[in-house]
């Protein structure tokens, strides 16, 4: 009952607590280990989330994995087909490979939320053209031929081009990034899904498509405990859903912003149990200085050093968030992504949604 009250009513008023210090001045508020009561409350929270359909249900997890396995098999057939048409030998086309990277909520939670889609990025070698992705004789055609795919819709002219469809009851948004590599191997890609991999992208569109995967992995790398983060984020997302605060187009923070806010609380209380983290989520952000002259929310304060200090491509550097930029200082709720180009994940937030 306590947690149901939190999910339905919290945020209108928060408990009075000590002033929250900006991250540039304080990295950890408390590193205390969870109490016995915290652990009991976390078990109760997990039980509640499971009852609401947002727990780590084995069937839900299996559905997500089965969908990705199906898409992976189709993607490998696609790359092989293009490779053979490009003049590669059968062996070279087989070895060229491709790789799917979940992005967005599915990547962060490692499970499906009720009614949620799966955003996924397909990494392919240099010889695959974007036209092959949308062509009826390419990936779009292979998906159309699959009996388990329905509602196929291509959006090639979007800022981040995407294929939208449904498979096994799960909505999918499939993106493409082409890399300056003859072979896509998991070992080489997972070791470089950071700023260096941007320089392997063939063009600006490929780099923008890659950014979602980099942000998701960056968040997971910066939380002290992934299991606690994921449990807390599930509770936060359920609260957001109940309160109707998840519509990015209406000026509310999007999914990435809520994830970064949750991750920051996990950093402030690195050893806390999910029940306490969920409570602290509201007390921290109720007191944070948002609005005019807002204090930005970072997960890593010195991002240049963490990324090796390498230069961004010019077309991405222009979008890199900076406190010296008048436009960037004007954001009412600056929640900054953890990899370069640093972006404000809550740039759509305006006065009325911020007040809510």
Task: Write out pLDDT tens, residues 70-87.
Answer: 999 999 999 999 999 999
CA distances from 117 to 102, 161, 172 (A): 11, 17, 6
351 or 329: whose pLDDT is higher?
329
Q: What is the pLDDT of residue 233?
A: 95
Look at residue 272 in the predicted model and tell me its pLDDT: 97
pLDDT band at 137 (very low <50, low <70, confident <90, very high): confident
Over range 282-297, report the average pLDDT. 91
Q: What is the pLDDT of residue 291?
A: 86
Supply the pLDDT for residue 309.
Answer: 45
pLDDT per residue as tens digits for the range 99-111: 999 998 889 988 8
What average pLDDT does this structure show over 141-159? 94
Q: Supply the pLDDT for residue 267.
A: 96
Phi, psi for 272 (deg, rounded to 5): -70, 150
| pLDDT, tens digit (0-9, with 9 covering 90-100), for 11-26 | 444 444 445 555 544 5
pLDDT band at 292 (very low <50, low <70, confident <90, very high): confident
| Residue 18, pLDDT score | 44
Average pLDDT over residues 33-58: 87
pLDDT, residue 41, reads: 95
pLDDT digits (tens, 9 = 90+) for 241-279: 888 777 766 778 888 999 999 999 999 999 999 999 999
* pLDDT value of position 140: 94
Is the predicted pLDDT of residue 190 greater than 70, yes or no? Answer: no
The pair of three-digit structure tokens given for residue 12, joined into one six-digit string: 């209108």
- Residue 229: which of 258, 275, 262, 271 has the closest Cα? 262
DSSP notation for 131-171:
HHHHSTTSHHHHHHH-TTEEEEEEETTSSS-EEEEEETTEE
Reported confidence tier of residue 191, pLDDT bands at 50, 70, 90 = low
Sheet containing 149-155: which strands, arranged edge to edge? 99-103, 118-124, 170-178, 162-167, 149-155
Burial label, 71 (beta-carbon count in 10 A; 0-12, 13-18, 19+): buried
The share of the chain scoring above pLDDT 70, in percent, equals 84
Q: What is the mean pLDDT of residues 307-322?
A: 71
Tell whether the model's pLDDT for residue 50 goes beyond 90: no
* Lowest mean per-residue pLDDT among 48-62, 220-234, 250-264, 316-330: 48-62
pTM for this one? 0.86
The neighbouring-strand residues paired with 172 are: 118, 165
With cut-offs at 50, 70 and 90, classify the pLDDT of residue 184.
very high
- Does 219 score more than 80 pLDDT? yes
- Arithmetic mean of pLDDT, 25-49: 89
Mean pLDDT score of the chain: 84
> In this predicted structure, what is the pLDDT of residue 310?
56
Residue carrying structure tokens 């078990």: 43
Give the pLDDT confidence score for residue 26 in this predicted structure. 54
What's residue 125's pLDDT? Answer: 95
Local structure of residue 312 (DSSP, 8 states):
P
Output the pLDDT for position 322.
84
């Amino acid at each position: 009952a306590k947690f149901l009250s939190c999910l339905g009513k919290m945020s209108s008023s928060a408990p009075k607590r000590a002033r929250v210090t900006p991250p540039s001045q304080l990295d950890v508020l408390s590193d205390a280990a969870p109490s016995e009561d915290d652990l009991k409350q976390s078990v109760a929270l997990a039980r509640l989330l499971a009852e609401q359909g947002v727990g780590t249900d084995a069937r839900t997890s299996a559905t997500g994995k089965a969908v990705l396995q199906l898409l992976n098999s189709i993607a490998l057939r696609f790359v092989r087909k293009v490779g053979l048409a490009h003049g590669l030998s059968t062996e070279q086309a087989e070895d060229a490979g491709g790789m799917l990277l979940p992005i967005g909520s599915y990547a962060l939670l490692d499970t499906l939320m009720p009614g949620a889609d799966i955003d996924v990025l397909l990494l392919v070698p240099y010889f695959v053209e974007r036209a092959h992705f949308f062509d009826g004789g390419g990936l779009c055609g292979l998906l159309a031929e699959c009996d388990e795919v329905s509602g196929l819709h291509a959006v090639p002219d979007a800022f981040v081009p995407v294929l939208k469809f449904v498979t096994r009851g799960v909505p999918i948004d499939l993106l493409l990034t082409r890399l300056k590599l003859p072979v896509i191997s998991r070992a080489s890609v997972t070791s470089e899904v950071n700023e260096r991999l941007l320089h392997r992208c063939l063009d600006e569109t490929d780099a923008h498509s890659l950014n979602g995967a980099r942000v998701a992995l960056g968040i997971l790398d910066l939380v002290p405990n992934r299991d606690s983060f994921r449990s807390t984020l599930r509770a936060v997302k359920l609260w957001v859903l109940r309160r109707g605060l998840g519509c990015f187009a209406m000026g509310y923070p999007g999914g990435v912003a809520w994830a970064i806010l949750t991750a920051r609380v996990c950093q402030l209380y690195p050893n806390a149990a999910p029940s306490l983290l969920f409570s602290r989520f509201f007390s921290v952000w109720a007191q944070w200085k948002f609005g005019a002259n807002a204090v930005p929310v970072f997960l890593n304060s010195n991002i240049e050093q963490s990324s090796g200090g390498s230069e961004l491509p010019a077309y991405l550097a222009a979008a890199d968030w900076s406190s010296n930029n008048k436009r960037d200082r004007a954001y009412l709720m600056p929640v900054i992504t953890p990899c370069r180009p640093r972006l404000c994940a809550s740039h759509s937030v305006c006065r009325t949604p911020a007040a809510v």
